[in-house]
Amino acid sequence: MAEHSNVRSLIINEASALFAEKGYAGLSMRELAYHVGVSKAALYYYFSDKEQLFVEIISQFLDEIQTRLEKILDTYPDLRSQLLEVVHHIEGQSNAKKQLIWYLRHDIRQLSDEKVSHLVYQYHHGFVNTLEKMFKDAMVRGEIKSLNPKILAWVFLGMVYPFVNNIQANQSMEQSWTVNIVEVFLDGVNPRD
C-alpha cells in the first residue's frame, strides 16, 4: 500500500512540475511516463486520463490555499494583518505553482465542463468565500464600513493578481509593494486628515 501511495505521489509531483513548465496542452501522458520512470499503462492505473491528473493537482493546490487562509483568519486579529498575510502567502507560492495557475487560466477551455465547474466551485468556496468572511468579520468589528463582501473580495484579488502574475522567475515582490497594495485597498490614495 505504501508503494502505491509513493508512486501516486511521484506522479503528482512530476506532473505538477511538467504542467507548470509546458501547460496542460503541452504535456502528454507518454512524456510524463518517461519522466516518472513508469509505463504509460501504470499512469492510467493511477489516473484515468490527463484531465483527472491535472484537476487533482489544481484541487490539491486550492485545498492548500484554503487551509492557509482559514489559518490566517484564525490567527490574525484584524483585517489589515489578515490581508497582508494573504498577499504574502499568494506572492510566496513557488514559481512553479504560479505558472501552473497561469496555465490553468489559459488552458481551462480544454477541460470538460464538469471539471471546470468543480474547480470554479472549489476556488469560490475555499478562496473567495474565505476572503468574504474576512471582510464580513471586519465589518462586524467596525474596521470597515458595510459594503458587499463579495465585491470587496474580487476587488482585492483584482489588485493583487497583476503584481503576483508579473513577477519574473526567482523574484518576489518588494515588501513595500505588499504593504502598498493593502494600504491602497484599505485607505485609498487620498491623504489622511
- Check residue 193 and report its DSSP letter: -
**For cell 504509460, what's the residue?**
40
Of 3-7, 20-24, 47-51, 76-80, which range is least confident?
A: 3-7
User: What structural domains and CATH numbers belong to the chain?
Assistant: 49-187 (1.10.357.10)
Of 32-46, 70-84, 99-113, which range is least confident?
A: 99-113
Is the pLDDT at 192 greater than 80? The verdict is: no
pLDDT in tens, 141-167: 999 999 999 999 999 999 988 776 665
Q: How far is CA 109 from CA 94, 97, 106, 113, in A?
A: 24, 19, 7, 8
pLDDT score, position 98:
79
Supply the pTM of this predicted model: 0.83
pLDDT in tens, 3-28: 667 899 999 999 999 998 898 999 99
Q: How confident is the model at residue 172 (pLDDT cuts 50, 70, 90)?
A: low
Alpha carbon distance 8, 56 (integer Å)? 11
**For cell 478562496, what's the residue?**
127
Q: How confident is the model at residue 103 (pLDDT cuts 50, 70, 90)?
A: confident
Is the pLDDT at 168 greater than 60? The verdict is: no
The DSSP result for 115-180, as a single string, is HHHHHHHHHIIIIIHHHHHHHHHHHHTTSS----HHHHHHHHHHHHHHHHHTPPTT----HHHHHH
Task: Compute the half-sphere exposure of residue 123: CA atoms within 13 Å on the CB side of its CA.
Answer: 14
pLDDT score, position 166:
62
Identify which has the larger pLDDT, 73 or 101.
73
Alpha carbon distance 68, 74 (integer Å)? 10
